[in-house]
Structure 1
Amino acid sequence: MTPEAVPPAVEAPANANRSRLLEGMALCAASRGYADTTVADIVREAGVSKRTFYECFATKAECLIALYEAASHNALKMLGQAIDPAHKWQTQVERALSAYLACMADNPVLMRTLFIEILGLGAEGLAARRRVNQEIAGFMLTVINAGRDGCQRDQPLPAEMAMAIVGGINELILEYIEQERVTALGELVEPAARLVRAVTLAGVAPPSASA
């Protein structure tokens, strides 16, 4: 079984080994939990040596962070594929949220491991989480500030407000993870979309009737 959250291996041997190790980490973390996973477990699943592991990653934690970022980038890819510039940004955001949450709901055990364990890795884990959140916020800014909704914003949505939205949605996701409801993440599309609209429509004036 290859978790959907992990991107396929590429041709270069070093990158192929890295991808196999990420798959091995995903399988181990999903089946026995990160805390009980050892480097020996990961390399056995990946079919590579410990030497190969340490050529790719300095520690088990570094491997988990790489898996977290790979899974997040895969979810971002789903976001991008859900966007249709022909529609207003509100519709685009709702479709993107549906794709993003569905991608995570496809592998509930792995998502629980990633979202919970990444918070336990200290500053390194928090930095990885922030990088991912900044990428999602940047994607959101691109969609919302594209100016295709017929509304005139005094100023573009600031980056810090986009980050606040992402943080709020992440808290909703974490609550569902803690409640063992990852497969029901689709329920969050409507409240998450409502949050996005509430923040982004503040300070936006509708187009003038005389325009």
Structure 2
Amino acid sequence: MKPEARRNVDTVLLPGARTGRDPARSIKRGPSRLPPGVVAATQRERLLDGLVLTVAQHGYQRATVSDICRAAGVTRPVFYALFTGKEDAFLAAHRHGTAVVIRRMAAAFAAAPDWCTGIREALRAMLGLLAGVPAFAAMAVIELDAVGPAGRRERDQLLTRFRAFFAEVPELPGGVAAEAMVDAVVGGVYCALQRRIDAGRTDQLPDLLPTLSLFCLAPFLGPAEAARRLAVDPVP
């Protein structure tokens, strides 16, 4: 599968990429009814899509279970058969979507010939996916704080997974701890995403690729060497 086709497939898999009320996703009644497990999986997917679109539009605090069910075309009893409440559904959507993003980043990273190129290609994959589904980006990055302690724990776990891409960083001079530097870099990347998404410029996320690539490599290689590896001009 070509990289572009793979990105398109992954974008569709992100919650919020499709409307839950799409007639093509309706479950027909009658003798040919699908097996219960298939029905439940379809309803769950529709509810995750409905939640992401609703939260992106109204915010987590204002979104209600009824709003989510309406967006998904699913009843409240079905919602509560699948989730314990709004927070549970939100976290399920977040985990599912971020797993798609991490998987695509990992594939891009693994396909690259070296660590520097791998970081850039992993960033490219992430930025492209988030730009392709703005509702998921808003829900996963901006509204996560509104969930409270559970949301903060989810973000911490996500950032820990991002740190795995820096397992090959070179030793830093002057006794600077590589782990602390990686934490600073990962946090900085997340902050840059957050600012652009919060400003309603999610479609412009791919424009951050040169800056974020250099930002990720410069602390470990030096600005000039990082720029050389990335074939870009160093930041003055």
TM-score range, shorter chain: 0.7 to 0.9
Partner of 2:221: 201
Counterpart contact for 2:53–2:135, Cα < 8 Å: no
Cα shift at 1:4: 4.8
Superimposed CA distance per residue, residues 87-143 of structure 1 (whole angstroms, 9 cap, x where no aligned partner): 1111111111011111111122431233121112211110011111111212x135x
List alignment gaps of at least 5 residues for structure 2: 1-10, 19-24, 26-36, 223-236
Percent sequence identity is: 26
Counterpart contact for 2:60–2:146, Cα < 8 Å: no
Q: Say which SS state the counterpart of residue 87 (structure 1) adopts.
A: coil
List alignment gaps of at least 5 residues for structure 1: 146-151, 203-211
TM-score after normalising by structure 1: 0.76
Counterpart contact for 2:171–2:178, Cα < 8 Å: no
Distance 1:86 1:171, change over 3 A: closer
Measured in 1, the distance between the counterparts of 2:135 and 2:45 equals 19
Measured in 1, the distance between the counterparts of 2:220 and 2:100 equals 26
RMSD of equivalent CA atoms: 3.0
Distance 1:118 1:95, change over 3 A: same
Indicate yes or no: 2:176 matched with 1:168.
no
Q: Say which SS state the counterpart of residue 98 (structure 2) adopts.
A: helix
Partner of 1:141: 166
Q: How many residues align?
A: 191
Distance 1:100 1:58, change over 3 A: same
Counterpart contact for 1:83–1:95, Cα < 8 Å: yes
Measured in 2, the distance between the counterparts of 1:85 and 1:23 equals 30
User: Paired residue for 2:60, among 20, 29, 34?
Assistant: 34
Distance 1:153 1:110, change over 3 A: closer
Measured in 2, the distance between the counterparts of 1:43 and 1:98 equals 34
Cα shift at 1:44: 2.6
Superimposed CA distance per residue, residues 19-53 of structure 1 (whole angstroms, 9 cap, x where no aligned partner): 22111112322344433321112223333332222
Partner of 2:201: 181
Cα shift at 1:180: 1.9
User: Paired residue for 1:49, among 75, 84, 104?
Assistant: 75
Cα shift at 1:84: 4.3
Measured in 1, the distance between the counterparts of 2:114 and 2:218 equals 16
